[in-house]
Amino acid sequence: MNNTPLVSIIIPVYNLERYIGNTIQTVIDQSIKDFEVIVIDDGSNDNSLSIINSIRERDSRIKVYHQKNHGQANARNNGVCNALGKFITFVDGDDLLKKNYIKTMLEPMLRDSDLDMVALPHQDASIRDIPNLDVSSKKEKSVNLESDDYLIMALKYNNNLYNVSYASKMYRSAIFKDFKIPEGHYYEDLAGLPNLLKKIHKVLWVNDKQYMYLNDRPLSTVNLINKRKAVDIIWALEYLERILKSSSNDVKRAFQIAIVNNIYVAYVPLKGVPSSLKRIDALINKVSISFVLYTSLHVHVSKKGLLFLIGRKIMNLFKRGHRH
């Protein structure tokens, strides 16, 4: 009898005692049962580990690995190294799954050996929604995409439908053979998933919101922007610029939208740091105002980002003219 699990569910955890019990319970309650749960405790100093261990005592599919605090990317990479499944999916330790999360992605992967990734939209939810989690989800359509097509959508929109998050997706584990999620930074999703997509040929996007993203967590990365995180926004965009150099013009144009939608967030914490402002301006110089204005007619472009782009370009033109 083959005891190798079909799917490896990787959950990085750092100080998530308020959420991790609910998260793991929604994993255990999946309609498909052939999986292992790999929990990487990233040096938690709260009650997270004891909560995880108490659940593990009731379910042998849960495996727990403990490491010093090296960050979410390192924890995910550690999870991949220990994964036995033919397929891999990542779940954040403070999010929730509906019952058919695994089934919705696994079934098409088993039917089509050419599929490297299945992506689902996620459903934004509040912490207050946890007790009333709706397990039903209405499937509307599925779309086969080339990896570049998905990347263009993710860079342009990066919303609950198409995004650069590692979560709410299933991958063939073989594609991680020579790939590591970039470590030591925030926003490793924005930097790393487009690079992973270069190893992928065919993507299936299924419009079925089986992943619940809690968007009002007090300590969430998206809710707290300090200088270090601001610097890492710049790092992620510079990383993207390097890996997309040989990409199609359509991908590069989508990257311009990603710059506009992200770079303004880094400005306020770093406006007194000349070296960072120089890097911000170098990225802004990659963006065509006319292209972004035209694209904003049918794609969401951050108004703050657009105003920042125009203002910064005008200011830099004025400075150059004043010097001459």
- Largest interatomic CA distance in the chain: 78
**What's the pLDDT score for residue 134?**
55
Looking at this protein, which amino acid is placed at residue 182?
A: P
> How confident is the model over 168-212, as pLDDT tens digits?
999 999 999 999 999 999 999 999 999 999 999 999 999 999 999
Tell how far CA 307 is from the center of its chain: 26
Tally of helices (H runs) and strands (E runs) in the chain: 11, 11
Q: What is the pLDDT of residue 296?
A: 93
Q: Which residues of 247-279 are buried (b: 16+ CB within 10 A; e: fewer)?
A: beeebbbbbbbbbbbbbbbbbebbeeeeebbeb
Query: How big, in percent rounded to 5, are the helix, strand and coil portions of the chain?
Result: 45, 15, 35
Q: What is the DSSP string of 23-34?
A: HHHHHHT-S---
Whether this model's pTM surpasses 0.75:
yes
DSSP 132-180: G---------EEEEEHHHHHHHHHHH-SSSS---SBSEEEEGGGGTT--
Given a cut of 70, the residues of the chain with pLDDT beneath it are 1-2, 127-140, 216-224, 321-324
* Nearby residues of 23 by Cβ (< 8 Å), 6 or more positions away: 11, 16, 91, 92, 93, 94, 95, 96, 97
Q: Are strands 122-125 and 87-90 parallel, antiparallel or unpaired?
A: unpaired
251 closest CA partner among 147, 158, 171, 164? 147
Residue pair 202/96 in contact by the 8 Å Cβ criterion: no
**Contact between residue 254 and residue 152 where contact means Cβ atoms under 8 Å apart:** yes
pLDDT digits 0-9 by tens, 5-28: 999 999 999 999 999 999 999 999
User: How many residues does this entry show for the chain?
Assistant: 324
Number of Cβ within 10 Å of residue 320's Cβ equals 9
Contact 311, 266 (CB under 8 A): no
| pLDDT at site 217 | 63
Q: What is the pLDDT of residue 1?
A: 44
Rg of the chain on CA atoms, in Å: 20
- How far is it, in rounded angstroms, from Cα 43 to Cα 275? 33
Residue 130's pLDDT is what?
58
